[in-house]
Amino acid sequence: MNNVGLHDAEVVTPAEVHRAARAFAAALAETPQFTAFKQADEALSNDTEAQQALSRLQAKAKSLRALLMLNAVSDAERAELDGLRDAYLTRATVRASAAAEGELTGLCQQAARIMSAATGMDYAATCGASCCG
């Protein structure tokens, strides 16, 4: 990180920092990766069969949650759960959405790495982001 003295640097106002943040977001929104992600996400939202497959998968997983935690699911139930999962994950819109999200994630990770290296603070960790909820 650069050591910039307090007295020999012109202080950037909070409004200018926020403006730069919005400009960064706008530039990210114009990338092919972001556009592709939005399109894939919309296609997935409009795919009623995929949404139904997801609902069936979630309902089955919920009904088996306690048994899954105890690792006590029968082979037949596990096969049914795996089948429902495959039915969802192999749909073209789901695969396209996952691929587009992966591309966008890669781009965001690169941008965050650049910012973290320049500022000396881990951007994602500082902002409290967690994929684990």
Partner 1 sequence: MNETVAFPPALQEATDRLIHALLGSGSFLAYQGSLAQLESDSQARGLLERLSMLQVALRGKQGAGQINQADIEELRAVQSKVRVHPAIIEYAQSQQGAADVLREVNQEIRQVLGMDFAALARSNTC
Q: Which residues bind partner 1 (CB under 8 A)?
A: 1-6, 9-14, 16-34, 102-112, 114-115, 118-121, 123-132
Per the listing, tokens 């730069």 go with 20
Closer to partner 1 by CB, 25 or 79: give it: 25
Give the number of other Cβ atoms within 10 Å of residue 100's Cβ.
22
Q: Which of 55, 36, 48, 26 is nearest to 103 (CA)?
A: 36
Shortest CB 99 distance to partner 1, Å: 9
Closer to partner 1 by CB, 6 or 70: give it: 6
Closer to partner 1 by CB, 69 or 132: give it: 132
Shortest CB 108 distance to partner 1, Å: 4
Shortest CB 6 distance to partner 1, Å: 5
Q: How does DSSP classify residue 10?
A: P
CA 102, 68, 72, 70 torsion-angle sign: positive
Closer to partner 1 by CB, 63 or 119: give it: 119
Distances (CA, A) of 22 to 27, 43, 54, 79, 124: 9, 27, 35, 48, 17
Shortest CB 104 distance to partner 1, Å: 6
